[in-house]
């Protein structure tokens, strides 16, 4: 076989020798010997193009369009369960709905194309300059950048992962080329509009229209379409309801998209002139909010699930998760019914006062499980959860933490001297108006006034033990105890018991009387620490998460020692005395109940916090006109009277004692 070909091979030898590069170049001197000739340069460039072309043709031939869509194209519900395993709520079941392209207005389509890919109907499915720019940033600067056509974005949405890597971008481009040859442009655009993420848990233009404007996509005008199209660049940055910076970016992009529509001839200058005012979207997703208490529970559980499950908003919005919460259906219903009844009664008695009334409540088990919360009257119209808001002072409900700090750390009568132990029987001065003392003498405030402690009603009690002082809510001993123990130790004990450092008041004598502003959840968790023999477990709302049956690893809270077991027992005993003194009839039927009322300075908040059967509940009632400021207003009787104490009544109903 070889012999017949030999003559032909001999004829090719001279040409092959001429093609063979002679390097270093003969007949040249100096640096010219090492400089490639123009033939060599051309040969190298042509060879590179030939190799690249061969590689791309081979890669294109070997790349298949995947037969299975990925999870981004098959978003599912997230299902929430009560603590007994029964379904509580669903989110996401209306968050994706495919719409035929013919039912999507032309203005909506052209707004998206103006924002993302104006050459969509003429390009081959990829953008060479965009890919080059993205690869340069990915490889050269360790970053990633878009530059994708709508076809490429659609491929990423339905076939590939969201990982920003060079290999994924290359695969994306190959599939996009094939898809562009297989599907019509209208089919690709329809798929893209139905699978893109717009934020607020919404996939697809139809659900985005409902989530942001409460209407079907067919009802959108060009201005609203431009706002939604802007979200495709990143809803976390361009949802105008998420902050001032977001709003500014959204307005700029909205205006730019409308101008682009004019430039591409899809919007006339006259029509553009009609859209001068930014189309503000709804403040929250109406598909998510039902207005019921379960919305507050879903909000708490979803935030916690993402935190402990290490899930991004986008991952969580894809759905498929089963979230098993700690919420007790029976306790939640009892708490909701009680607060709803109190609200209605207040509205009938004094509508003007009740108008600005707020009620926050939470029940937390000794092991940290959040069992029930009351977040507000209507989740659709209220922008925050009252059970989780650090809004008003804790007042004298804070005294148990001062008591615990004194028992735990002792007191210092001399500066730098040894600590003297404190017991429940340690006696303090309970008279009204006694000056607050330091080891060096009276405490003077910054205005040059001597600070004195006062009891409610300016009542004096004489010499009184700390246990009696807590049971009777006598202020003056605890203001001095806080100074003797050290306000830093008081703060340390309160935070170890569960109160957040961000809610703690200034480190001045008044700290002991509750200038801190803990939420109802945190206050309930703090008292639960005493019921748990001094061990604190961070409040949590989710016990288990699965995704399509597979468990999701969680970082679950573990108990930590806040105060000694004996200290916790002493606090519980004093709180039991407080409960029995104030509510002897209820105490007869509930020997394990312990708790106390709390009143804030200037009558701006009224609390009741207590425990029974290893469950702690905190209730707070306050007034605030949110249209004017965040300053609490005097209660003006909203919290009831000593004979008909509203926070206590709500607490008793939540604990099953009402």
Domain ranges across the chain: 5-62, 95-274, 396-516
**Tens digit of each residue's pLDDT (9 = 90 or more) over 194-231:** 888 888 877 888 888 988 998 889 999 999 999 999 99
CB 652 within 8 A of CB 586: yes
DSSP-assigned letter for residue 456? G
The whole-angstrom separation of Cα 202 and Cα 478 is 53
| Phi then psi dihedrals of residue 5, to 5 deg | -90, -10
Name residues whose C-beta falls within 8 Å of residue 542's C-beta, 6 or more positions apart in sequence. Answer: 301, 304, 305, 308, 323, 324, 325, 326, 554
DSSP 137: I
Beta-strand (E) ranges in 419-554? 427-429, 437-438, 441-442, 463-465, 535-536, 542-547, 550-551
Closest by CA position to 408, among listed 480, 476, 497: 497
- What letter does residue 419 receive in the DSSP assignment? P
Q: Is 634 left (phi over 0), alpha (psi -120 to 50) or beta?
A: beta
Question: Contacts from 556-560 at CB under 8 Å and sequence distance 24+?
Answer: 556/308, 557/368, 559/367, 559/368, 559/532, 559/535, 560/496, 560/535, 560/536
Pick the closest to residue 403 from 527, 521, 303, 301 (CA basis): 527
Mean pLDDT over residues 161-174, rounded? 56
Residues 622, 358 contacting (CB under 8 angstroms): yes
Q: What is the pLDDT of residues 434-470, one digit of tens each?
A: 999 998 889 988 888 899 999 998 999 999 999 999 9
Give strand pairing partners of 617.
363, 610
CA distance 387 to 367: 19
Give the single-character DSSP code of 365.
Answer: E
Residue 542: per-residue pLDDT: 97
Classified by CATH at the fold level, domain 396-516 comes out as Beta-lactamase (3.40.710)
Separation between Cα atoms, residue 409 and residue 484, nearest integer Å: 10
Average pLDDT, stretch 525-539? 97
Mind listing the pLDDT tens digit for each residue in 27-69? 666 666 666 666 666 766 666 666 655 555 554 454 454 555 4
pLDDT of residue 141: 46
Judge contact between 525 and 361, C-beta under 8 A: no
Q: How confident is the model at residue 244 (pLDDT cuts 50, 70, 90)?
A: very high
Six-digit token pair at 201?
């848990």
Fold match flag (95-274 vs 396-516): no
Neighbours of 440 (CB within 10 A): 8
**For residues 455 and 601, what is the distance between their CA atoms, to the nearest angstrom?**
11
Q: Write down the pLDDT at residue 169.
A: 60
Distance CA 260, CA 275 (A): 14
Q: Supply angle C-alpha 393, 394, 400, rounded to 5.
A: 150
pLDDT classification of 548: cutoffs 50, 70, 90? confident
Mean pLDDT for the chain overall:
85
The predicted pLDDT at position 61 comes to 52
**Which two structure tokens, joined as six digits, stand for 554?**
């969680």
Number of residues that make up the chain: 658
Distance in angstroms (rounded) separating the CA atoms of residues 428 and 480: 8
Question: pTM of the prediction?
Answer: 0.67
104 vs 511: CA distance, rounded Å = 60
Tens of pLDDT, residues 412-423: 988 878 899 999
Position 403 scores a pLDDT of 98
Query: Which fold is adopted by the domain 95-274?
Result: Penicillin binding protein transpeptidase fold (1.10.3810)
- CB of 273 closer than 8 Å to CB of 204: no
Q: What is the pLDDT of residues 569-596, one digit of tens each?
A: 999 999 999 999 999 999 988 889 999 9
| Residue 280 φ/ψ, nearest 5 degrees | -60, 125
pLDDT at 179 over 60: yes
CB atoms within 10 A of CB 525: 29
**Between 304 and 166, the higher pLDDT residue:** 304
Stronger pLDDT, 10 or 234, i.e. the higher one:
234
d(CA 520, CA 1): 93
At residue 397, the pLDDT reads 96
Segment 174-193 mean pLDDT: 79
pLDDT of residue 202: 79
* pLDDT at 261 exceeding the cut of 80: yes
Strands 202-203 and 427-429, how do they pair? unpaired
Per-residue tokens: 187 = 């089919």
User: For the residues of 506-541, what is the DSSP string, one character each?
Assistant: -SSGGGGG------HHHHHHHHHHHHTTTEE---BS
| pLDDT band at residue 314 under the 50/70/90 scheme | confident
The whole-number pLDDT of residue 170 equals: 57
Report the distance separating Cα 602 and Cα 395, nearest Å.
10
Greatest C-alpha distance within the chain: 126
CA–CA–CA angle 393, 397, 398 (5° rounding): 75
Provide Rg for the chain, Cα atoms: 35
In this structure, the strands spanning 437-438 and 605-612 are: unpaired
Alpha-carbon distance of 504 to 519, in angstroms, equals: 11
CA 267/CA 111 separation, integer angstroms? 9
472: pLDDT strictly greater than 50:
yes
Evaluate if residue 240 carries a pLDDT over 90.
yes
* Residue 418 confidence (pLDDT): 87
Supply 258's token pair: 């409308």
Peptide bond just before 24 cis, omega within 30 deg:
yes
Residues sharing a CB contact under 8 Å with residue 335, sequence separation 6 or more, in sequence order? 361, 363, 372, 373, 374, 650, 653, 654
Q: Residue 368 and residue 538: Cα distance in Å, rounded?
A: 6
């Amino acid at each position: 076989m070889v012999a017949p070909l030999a003559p032909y091979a001999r004829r090719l030898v001279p040409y092959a020798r001429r093609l063979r590069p002679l390097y270093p170049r003969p007949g040249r001197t100096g640096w010219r010997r090492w400089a490639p000739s123009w033939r060599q340069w051309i040969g190298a460039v042509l060879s590179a193009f030939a190799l690249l072309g061969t590689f791309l043709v081979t890669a294109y031939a070997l790349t298949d369009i995947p037969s299975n869509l990925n999870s981004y194209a098959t978003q599912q519900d997230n299902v929430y369960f009560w603590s007994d395993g029964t379904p509580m709520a669903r989110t996401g079941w209306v968050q994706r709905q495919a719409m035929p392209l013919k039912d999507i207005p032309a203005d909506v389509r052209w707004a998206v194309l103006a924002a993302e890919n104006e050459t969509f109907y003429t390009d081959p499915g990829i953008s060479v300059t965009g890919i080059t720019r993205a690869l340069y940033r990915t490889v050269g600067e360790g970053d990633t950048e878009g530059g994708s056509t709508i076809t490429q974005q659609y491929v990423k949405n339905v076939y590939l992962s969201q990982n920003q890597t060079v290999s994924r971008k290359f695969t994306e481009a190959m599939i996009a080329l094939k898809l562009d040859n297989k599907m019509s442009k209208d089919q690709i655009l329809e798929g893209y509009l139905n699978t893109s993420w717009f934020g607020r848990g919404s996939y697809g233009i139809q659900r985005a229209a409902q989530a942001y404007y409460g209407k079907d996509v067919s009802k959108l005008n060009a201005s609203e379409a431009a706002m939604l199209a802007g979200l495709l660049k990143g809803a976390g940055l361009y949802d105008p309801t998420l902050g001032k910076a977001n709003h500014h970016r959204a307005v700029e992009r909205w205006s730019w998209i409308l101008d682009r529509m004019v430039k591409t001839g899809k919007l006339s200058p006259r029509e553009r002139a009609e859209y001068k005012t930014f189309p503000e979207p709804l403040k929250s997703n109406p598909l998510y909010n039902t207005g019921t208490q379960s919305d507050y529970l879903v909000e708490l559980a979803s935030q916690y699930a993402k935190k402990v499950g290490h899930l991004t908003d986008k991952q969580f919005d894809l759905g498929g998760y089963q979230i098993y919460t700690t919420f007790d259906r029976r306790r939640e219903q009892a708490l909701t019914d009680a607060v709803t009844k109190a609200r209605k009664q207040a509205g009938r008695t004094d509508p003007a006062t009740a108008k600005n009334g707020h009620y926050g409540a939470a029940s937390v088990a000794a092991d940290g499980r959040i069992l029930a919360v009351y977040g507000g009257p209507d989740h659709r119209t209220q922008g925050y959860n009252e059970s989780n808001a650090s809004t008003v002072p804790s007042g004298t409900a804070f005294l148990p933490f001062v008591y615990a700090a004194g028992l735990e750390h002792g007191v210092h009568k001399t500066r730098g001297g040894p600590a003297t132990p404190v017991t429940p029987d340690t006696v303090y001065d309970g008279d009204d108006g006694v000056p607050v003392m330091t080891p060096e003498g009276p405490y003077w405030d910054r205005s040059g006034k001597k600070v004195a402690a006062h009891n409610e009603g300016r009542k004096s009690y004489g010499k009184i033990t700390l246990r009696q002082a807590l049971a009777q809510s006598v202020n003056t001993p605890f203001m001095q105890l806080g100074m003797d123990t050290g306000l830093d130790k008081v703060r340390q004990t309160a935070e170890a018991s569960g109160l957040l450092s961000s809610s703690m008041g200034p480190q001045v004598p008044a700290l002991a009387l509750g200038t801190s502003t803990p939420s109802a959840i945190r206050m309930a968790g703090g008292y639960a620490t005493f019921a748990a023999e001094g061990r604190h477990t961070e409040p949590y709302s989710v016990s288990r998460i699965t995704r399509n049956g597979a468990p999701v690893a969680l970082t679950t809270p573990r108990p930590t020692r806040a105060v000694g077991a004996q200290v916790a027992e002493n606090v519980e005993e004093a709180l039991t005395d407080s409960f029995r003194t104030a509510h002897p009839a209820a105490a007869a039927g509930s020997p394990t109940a312990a708790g106390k009322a709390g009143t804030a300075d200037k009558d701006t908040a009224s609390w009741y916090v207590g425990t029974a059967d290893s469950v702690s509940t905190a209730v707070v009632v306050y007034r605030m006109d949110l249209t004017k400021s965040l300053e609490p207003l005097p209660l003006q009787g909203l919290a009831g009277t000593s004979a008909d104490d509203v926070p206590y009544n709500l607490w008793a109903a939540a604990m099953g004692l009402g």
